[in-house]
Structure 1
Amino acid sequence: MQSAEAVLHGLDDEQRAAASTLTGPLCILAGAGTGKTRAITHRIAYGVRAGVYDPHRVLAVTFTARAAAEMRSRLTGLGAPGVQARTFHAAALRQLQYFWPISVGGQMPQLLDHKVRLIAEAAKRLRLTTDRASLRDFASEVEWAKVSTITPEDYAAAAAGRDQPAGLDHASFARLYAAYEELKDDQHVIDFEDVLLLTAGMLTEDERVAAQVRQQYRHFVVDEFQDVSPLQQRLLDLWLGGREEICVVGDAAQTIYSFTGASPRYLLEFRRRYQQAEVVKLVRDYRSTPQVVKLANTLLAERSAEQPRLQRRTDWKRSTGEQAEDPPEWPDPLQLISQRDAGPDPSITQHPDDDAEAAWIASEIARLSEEGTPLSEVAVLYRTNGQSQTFEQALATAGISYQLRGSERFFSRREVREALAALRTTSMVDSDETVPQAVRAVLSSLGWAEKAPTSAGAVRERWESLAALVSLADDLSAEREGFTMRHLLAELEERSAAQHAPTVEGVTLASLHSAKGLEWDAVFLAGLCEGLMPISFAQTQAEVDEERRLLYVGITRARKHLSLSSSAARHAGGRGRRKPSRFLEPLRAELGLEPTVRKIAPGSGRPSPNAASRKKTAVCATCGTVLTAATQVRRQRCEDCPPRYDPELFEALREWRRQAAQEAGRPAFMIFADAELEIIAEHRPEASDEALLKLPGIGPKKLEAHGDGLKSVLQEHAPEVA
C-alpha cells in the first residue's frame, strides 16, 4: 500500500488543504467542476492511511445512489474499501432494519413503494374527487410536508402562502394528509420519508440505539449539503450527537431543489453554527474552458439586487416552506477559474420557431460528430420534459441516435438483463482469458459486434446497450490491476442496484434538473425564452433566482462546446412574439453580441380583442409545462401528464360520436375531435346550451348540429346529487 502522503499527490493547493484537514468541522465550498468528489474521497483515504480514521467508522452521505456508488468505487481504488458511502435513505433504512427488533420489537412495517394507492383510498374516504394527476400532486405535497417535519396538524398554518396542491385548499389537504397517515398505520406500512422519521425517532427515544450508532460512526461526510432537508439535517444531528467530526461539501449557487423541501440554510449557516469550522473554497474549474466558465460567472454576477428585508422573509418562506425571522444571507457566488486551455466561444442564437431551432441543433450535432466529438459526449438540455419531443423528431430525421434520460432505466432493458444473465452463467468466469475478451465472446452471441449496425431503431439500440457493457469492461480492466470476471460481475450487481448505468453511445436528451451532477463535451441549452427560462410560475424574486441558478447548472455541464438558443414562435408561420430569456442579455454583452432586436410588424393602432389572451402563456394544468401544440393547449395538458377526465363519460361520448358520424356519413373527427371530447368529459357541464357554449371547440353551429346528442349523453351520465 502507498504511503498516506502519496494520496495527496496530484491535488491542487485548495484540494490538498481540504483533504489534509481531518478533524473538526470542515466546510468545503466547491464550485462546479472543481473536483469536490476527488477532494472528499482523497480526504477519507488520507485519513484511513494516516491511521486517523477507522474505515468502518466513517459514513459518507450523498443524495443519489449513483453518486454513492461512484464514491465507493473511488474509495476502493484509493485503498479505503471499508468506508460506508450511502444515500440518507439507504443509511437510515439499514439502521432501522437492524435496530427495529431491539428497540421496537415485532416485525418491521413493510416499505411502501408508491404513495398514490393509499392517497387515493384516503381521498375516497373523505369523498374528494381525484384523478391520476391530482393524486401525483398530493403525493408530492405529502413528501414536502414530511421532509419539512410538518405534521398534518401543523400543515395548514405552515403552508400558508404556498400554492394549493391540485387546487385543494390547505385545510382539506391537512385532512387528506391525516387520513393517509392513519391508513398507513392500519395497514402496517411505511413510506420512504417514514424511514428517516422513524430512524430519527428511534435515536431520540432509545439511548441504547443512539449510543451504538454513535459508537459505530465517528466521522461524517455530507455531499451536496445545499440540498439537505430539515428532516435529513435532524437525522444528521442525531448521528453526530453533539460531536463536531463533520465535513460538508456544497455550493449555494447550485441550489435548485427548493421545491422538494431542500434548504440551503444549513450550508449558509454552517459557520454560524460551528464557529471554529475551517472553510476551504474550491474555485479551480477543471471541467470547462475559460469561455464557458466566464459565461457562468457572468450569469451569477447579474443576480438581482438584494430584496428588502420583509420581501426576503416572504420569498424565503415561499421558496423553502420555512418560517424565518432572519433568513440567511446568500453569499457572493464563487468566481470559478478555468484550468483548461481556451476553447471555442459559446454561441447564442434565436430561431424562427421550435422546429427550426431543433433542426439547427441536430445539424450542429452532426457537424461536431464529423469533427470527432462522440455522440455520448453531447447533450441537449431543456427546462421541462414536454420539450423533448421536438428534439427527438429532429435527431431521428437526421439519423442521429439519442437516449432520453429519465426514460427506461439502463439495467431494466431486456437486452441488458439478458447480457447479465449470460455473463453470470458463462464458464469463462474461471478461464484464463482477459475480462474484455470474455465479455466480447459472451455478448457477441446476443447481438454485439465490433462494427455498429448501420440501421437505426431497435437493432441499433440493442447494440448500443451491449456496447456500453463492453466499454465498461474495457475501462475497469484498464483501471484496476488483477481485474477478473468475478470482479466485473460484482461491479455490475452493485451498479444495477444503484442504477449506475455505463455510458451509452447517443446524444443525451434531459431536463436541466436531471442533468445535475453530469457533464458532456458539448451542451445545447434549448428553449431559453420567457415562460420557460425563467418558468412562467416563478413569480417571486427567490423563485426567479432559483431559475437563474438552474441555468447556471446547465452552463457548467459543458466542457468545451456550449450553445444557448431560443425560438421566436412555437410553430412555423407563427407571429414570433416570444421573447428570449432575460438571462441571455448580459451573456450576449459578455460575448460582444448585439442586444436582441425584436421586429414586430406595425399594428393598426387598435387593441386586438385577443391581446389579453396572448399575454398569458398556455401551460399544463398538472405540471406547468409550457404547451405548444394546439390540441395540448385546448386540453390544458401536456403529453406526459395523465388525463383528468371521467373515463366512463369519455367512452360514452366516443360511442355517441361514432354513431353520429355513421349517420352523417362523415369521419368521426369532423363531428368532435378527441381533445374536445376530453374537455367535455373533464368539465362535465350541465346539459344546457349556455354551459356547452362556454367550452372551447363548441360554437353555435356545432351546438345546433349536435347539441341534442351531447345533452342526452351528459344527462345519462350526470352525477347523482345527494
Structure 2
Amino acid sequence: MQFDGDIEVRVMRGGTEITRVTRPLRQTVHGPAVKFRRRLWPVIDSSIDITGRTLDDEARAQEETSMNSLIAVNDDDRQQEAVITASPQQRIVVDAGPGTGKTFVACQRVSHLIREGINPGRIWIVSFTRTAVHEIRNRLADSLDDPAQAAGVRIATLDSHAWAIQSGFSKDAALTGSHDDNIAATLSQIKNDEDVQDYLERVNHLIVDEAQDIVGIRAELVQALIGGLRPECGVTIFADRAQAIYGFTEDESLGAQEGQSLLKYLEGMDFSAANLSKVHRTGQPGLLRIFTDVRETVLDEKTPTAVRRAAVREQIKRFADGDAGSFQQLKLDQIPDDALVLMRRRADVLLASSYGQDRKHRIRMSGLPSRILPWVGELLWDHTDTRLTRPEFDERWQNGVTTLPQEASDGAWNLLMEAAGLSAHVVDVERLRNLLGRASPPSLFTSPDYGDGGPVIGTIHASKGREAEDVHLYLPPESNDDTDDEDEEIRVMFVGATRARKRLSVGSTGARRTSDHDGRVWKRHAKGKIQIEVGRMHDLDADGLVGRTAFASAGDARAAQERIQKNPVIKGLFASAQQDLRWRMSVEHDASRLCVLSERLKSDLWEISKKCEGGPIGYLAHLRSIGLRTVALRMDDPSLQYLHEPWASSGFMLAPMLTGFCMSRFGGKK
C-alpha cells in the first residue's frame, strides 16, 4: 500500500455530509481510499459514502488467494500497522531505531485505541524528557479524528507522572530532596497505598517511550506501575538499545543513574516483541548507512569496546557529508535557522554560544529555566483580579503585548481557555498561575529551546528525539579520557549523528577539562582567573526581578522591567557583587540595574571559590540575554511577600534569558 500524505474527506450518508475527517490517503488498485471507523472506503471527489460498499471484504479475499493482493502492503507497512492496530489489551515491546517512525506509530496507536472505545483520559504516555513530551503533544492532535481529544491523553515525563500521583494522594507531598527521593516516595505509595492502587486500575493503556533510558529507581517505578495495572490493561513500550545514553549524562537531574534497566525487568514479564526497521528520516545514502550499518556496529557487543568506539567514530566521519572543522571556527551566520549544532559537553555549548556569535540563536541543554512564552507576562504583569474576561484580554493584548502580532490574540485566548477556562468567556487566573508556577509548566505555554529564533546549539543528550535537515556534530577528541562509560560514549556519538535528515557535518571540540558543582560547570585558568556557567535554573528569581531588596521602589522595579522588555537581546552584560545586596550580584545595563542574581548563585560561587582555595568571586563578565521569558508564581509561593506591587498580587513578571560561561577572577573586582 502506498501512502500519499493526509487528505481531508467529507463523510457522507445518503447524500448528507455528517462530518469531515483527515486521514492518510492510501493508493489501491481500485483508486484512492481512506480508513474510517476501521474500514477502508473509496474516495470519490474528496468524499466517502458510508452507505456504499467498502474495499475490506474484497481485499481480504484476494489476500488469501493471491500474492498480488488488492492492497499491496510492504514489510514496513505491516510492521507499523501491526503495532498501531494491536489489541488494546496487548502488551508489546517495540524495537525502534532512530528515524523509523516511532513517534508517528505512537500517535497512531493512541488514535486506534480511542477508536476502539478507550477514553483518552485513561491513556497514559510516559516519556523520558520534556523535549519528547513536546514532540508527542505537537503531533498527537493531528493523528486523532477529534483533535480536541489530545488534551485528555495523560502525556508527561516519568517524574511529572510520579509527582501527580504523589501530590494527589498525599497531603504532605512536597518537592523536596533529590529527584530520586520524589521517585522513591511515589514508588512507596504504589506499593503501600490502596487508594493509589485503585487509581492505577483506572488506566486502560500505558505507553512508555525511550524505555532503554529508564534505569535504577525509575525502572523500579515503571515496573511497579505496570504491576499495578489491571491484567487486561494494555502496554506499548518503545525502546532502542543503541540510543541508551542516560546512564551517565550532562543532565544532573537524570544522570549518573545506577541499577537495573527497565528492559531487563521486562525480560521476566509476558510481553510480545515487535520491530520497526525502515528508516523514514532520511533518504541520503550516507546517512542511511549511519542509521543502519553504524547501528549494527554500536550493538555489536562481541567486539572490544575500544575497537568499536574507534570504528563508530570513523564510520560516522566517512558517511557524513562534510568536515565541520574545529568548533572554534563555527560561524552561526553561515548556518540555516533550522539547523542543529550538537556537542557532547555543556562547556562547549556555552563557549560556542558566548563568544563571537552575533547571530541570534537558541540553546538546548538541561538545567535551564522553563521558558514560559513572554506574551503571558506582558499580558498579566499588573492584572490583580482572580478572573480575566475576553474584553479585558483584548484590551490588554492591544495595549501591552509586543512579542506577538495582534492577529495572534485568538490563539492565545484559546490557550488560556484550554488551561484555565472558567466559563465560555472567563479565565480563572488563580488556576492559570498554579499551572504555570509548576516546576514543569504545561508545554502549551513554553518553548522547548532557550532563545528567540535562529539555529540551535545544544548538547547531544538534550537534543535526543529531535531532528533537523542540517546537523553540525562536534565530537570530543578521540584521546579524550574524561568519560565514565566508553559503551555509552559510542551510543552518544550515534544519537548525535542520527539527528540529521539531509546533511551531516562532523567536527571536533577541544580537549578541555571542566569541573562541576551541583550541575554548574566551571573551569579554572592561570593567574587566578575562572570561568563559571551562569543562567541556570534558580540563578534569577522573582525577588531579583521585582523584589524590595533588589529595587528601592516599585517605580525602580517597573523601569527595570521596561528595560528587559525593550532589550530582549543584550551582549556584554556585567554583574558585580554589591554590599547593599549582601554581596549578591547586580546585573547592569547602560549604568542601570537590570536585575539581581539569586542567593543560590552567590552560595555556589562561594563553594567554588573554596574548592579552588581562592578569594571571593566579585564579578561576572561576558553575561548575555538571548531573549525574554515569563516568570509565574503560584498563589501560595512564599516569595510573593517580598515583591513590590503589582507583582506581589499578579504573580507574573518578565525575565531576561540569561546565559554565559562568564569570566571572573578570584579575590575581588575586575
If the length of structure 2 is used for normalisation, what is the TM-score?
Answer: 0.55
Counterpart selection for 1:556 from 498, 517, 529: 498
Task: Please tell me whether the aligned partners of residues 291 and 345 of structure 1 are also in contact (alpha carbons under 8 angstroms).
Answer: yes
Deviation at 1:85, TM superposition (A): 1.9
Deviation at 1:215, TM superposition (A): 2.5
Partner residue in 2 for 1:402: 361
Residue 26 and residue 302 in structure 1: after superposition, are their counterparts in 2 closer, same or farther (change >3 A)? closer
SS in 2 for 1:517: coil
Partner residue in 2 for 1:253: 242
**What is the distance in 2 between the residues matched to 1:302 and 1:349?**
24
Counterpart selection for 2:121 from 35, 56, 59: 56
Residue 203 and residue 23 in structure 1: after superposition, are their counterparts in 2 closer, same or farther (change >3 A)? same
Counterpart selection for 2:468 from 497, 520, 529: 520
**What is the distance in 1 between the residues matched to 2:156 and 2:263?**
20
Task: Please tell me whether the aligned partners of residues 342 and 472 of structure 2 are also in contact (alpha carbons under 8 angstroms).
Answer: yes
Deviations 1:202-224 (A, max 9, x none): 33234x32541233113211111
SS in 1 for 2:503: strand
* Aligned residue identity for 2:186: T
Residue 275 and residue 212 in structure 1: after superposition, are their counterparts in 2 closer, same or farther (change >3 A)? closer
| 1:358 aligns to 2:342 (yes or no) | no
| 1:497 aligns to 2:441 (yes or no) | yes
Matches within 5 A, 1:537-686: 537-538=482-483, 543-566=485-508, 619-622=513-516, 632=525, 639-640=532-533, 642=605, 644-646=608-610, 650-651=614-615
Residue 429 and residue 623 in structure 1: after superposition, are their counterparts in 2 closer, same or farther (change >3 A)? same
Residue 262 and residue 524 in structure 1: after superposition, are their counterparts in 2 closer, same or farther (change >3 A)? farther
SS in 2 for 1:110: coil
Deviation at 1:523, TM superposition (A): 1.4
Partner residue in 1 for 2:83: 18
Residue 209 and residue 17 in structure 1: after superposition, are their counterparts in 2 closer, same or farther (change >3 A)? same
Partner residue in 2 for 1:387: 348
| 1:108 aligns to 2:54 (yes or no) | no
**What is the distance in 2 between the residues matched to 1:37 and 1:517?**
9
Task: Please tell me whether the aligned partners of residues 300 and 548 of structure 1 are also in contact (alpha carbons under 8 angstroms).
Answer: no
Deviations 1:568-595 (A, max 9, x none): xx6xxxxxxxxxxxxxxxxxxxxxxxxx
**What is the distance in 2 between the residues matched to 1:508 and 1:556?**
16
**What is the distance in 2 between the residues matched to 1:618 and 1:37?**
37
Q: Give unpaired runs (5+ residues) of structure 1.
A: 101-106, 116-190, 316-332, 334-343, 449-465, 571-616, 655-672, 679-722
| 1:235 aligns to 2:221 (yes or no) | yes
* Aligned residue identity for 1:247: T
**What is the distance in 2 between the residues matched to 1:15 and 1:59?**
20
**What is the distance in 1 between the residues matched to 2:37 and 2:322?**
45
Residue 27 and residue 473 in structure 1: after superposition, are their counterparts in 2 closer, same or farther (change >3 A)? farther
SS in 1 for 2:495: helix
Partner residue in 2 for 1:42: 108
Deviation at 1:269, TM superposition (A): 6.2
Count of aligned pairs: 442
Residue 552 and residue 257 in structure 1: after superposition, are their counterparts in 2 closer, same or farther (change >3 A)? same
Task: Please tell me whether the aligned partners of residues 213 and 261 of structure 2 are also in contact (alpha carbons under 8 angstroms).
Answer: no
Deviation at 1:358, TM superposition (A): 3.1
**What is the distance in 2 between the residues matched to 1:484 and 1:412?**
13
**What is the distance in 1 between the residues matched to 2:368 and 2:617?**
34
Partner residue in 1 for 2:601: none
SS in 1 for 2:165: helix
| 1:67 aligns to 2:67 (yes or no) | no
SS in 2 for 1:525: strand
SS in 1 for 2:609: coil
**What is the distance in 1 between the residues matched to 2:113 and 2:119?**
8
SS in 2 for 1:537: coil
**What is the distance in 2 between the residues matched to 1:7 and 1:485?**
38
Task: Please tell me whether the aligned partners of residues 214 and 241 of structure 1 are also in contact (alpha carbons under 8 angstroms).
Answer: no
SS in 2 for 1:386: helix
Identity %: 19
**What is the distance in 2 between the residues matched to 1:555 and 1:423?**
47
SS in 2 for 1:14: helix
Deviates most, 236-245 or 501-510: 236-245
SS in 2 for 1:39: helix
* Aligned residue identity for 1:402: H
Partner residue in 1 for 2:210: 224
Partner residue in 2 for 1:5: 38
Deviations 1:104-135 (A, max 9, x none): xxx414322xx4xxxxxxxxxxxxxxxxxxxx
If the length of structure 1 is used for normalisation, what is the TM-score?
Answer: 0.51
Partner residue in 2 for 1:202: 189
**What is the distance in 2 between the residues matched to 1:307 and 1:635?**
48
Is the radius of gyration larger for structure 1 or structure 2?
1
**What is the distance in 1 between the residues matched to 2:531 and 2:469?**
31
* Aligned residue identity for 2:442: A
Partner residue in 2 for 1:346: 321
Residue 108 and residue 473 in structure 1: after superposition, are their counterparts in 2 closer, same or farther (change >3 A)? same
Partner residue in 2 for 1:29: 95
Residue 214 and residue 528 in structure 1: after superposition, are their counterparts in 2 closer, same or farther (change >3 A)? closer
Deviates most, 197-206 or 498-507: 498-507
Give the number of the structure whose residues are more often strand, by fraction: 2
| 1:417 aligns to 2:377 (yes or no) | yes
Residue 252 and residue 302 in structure 1: after superposition, are their counterparts in 2 closer, same or farther (change >3 A)? closer
**What is the distance in 1 between the residues matched to 2:526 and 2:488?**
27
Task: Please tell me whether the aligned partners of residues 169 and 196 of structure 2 are also in contact (alpha carbons under 8 angstroms).
Answer: no
Deviation at 1:236, TM superposition (A): 2.7
Task: Please tell me whether the aligned partners of residues 429 and 486 of structure 1 are also in contact (alpha carbons under 8 angstroms).
Answer: no
Partner residue in 2 for 1:96: 166
Residue 262 and residue 60 in structure 1: after superposition, are their counterparts in 2 closer, same or farther (change >3 A)? farther
Residue 623 and residue 555 in structure 1: after superposition, are their counterparts in 2 closer, same or farther (change >3 A)? farther
SS in 1 for 2:38: helix
| 1:536 aligns to 2:522 (yes or no) | no
Q: Give unpaired runs (5+ residues) of structure 2.
A: 1-18, 22-35, 44-72, 249-255, 307-311, 313-318, 422-426, 534-603, 619-662
Deviation at 1:483, TM superposition (A): 6.5
* Aligned residue identity for 2:237: V
Deviations 1:475-494 (A, max 9, x none): x79xxxx9687459879987
SS in 2 for 1:510: strand
Deviations 1:165-201 (A, max 9, x none): xxxxxxxxxxxxxxxxxxxxxxxxxx54333322322
Task: Please tell me whether the aligned partners of residues 14 and 281 of structure 1 are also in contact (alpha carbons under 8 angstroms).
Answer: yes
SS in 2 for 1:278: strand
Task: Please tell me whether the aligned partners of residues 469 and 500 of structure 2 are also in contact (alpha carbons under 8 angstroms).
Answer: yes
Matches within 5 A, 1:263-274: 265-267=261-263, 270=266, 272-274=267-269
Deviation at 1:536, TM superposition (A): 2.0
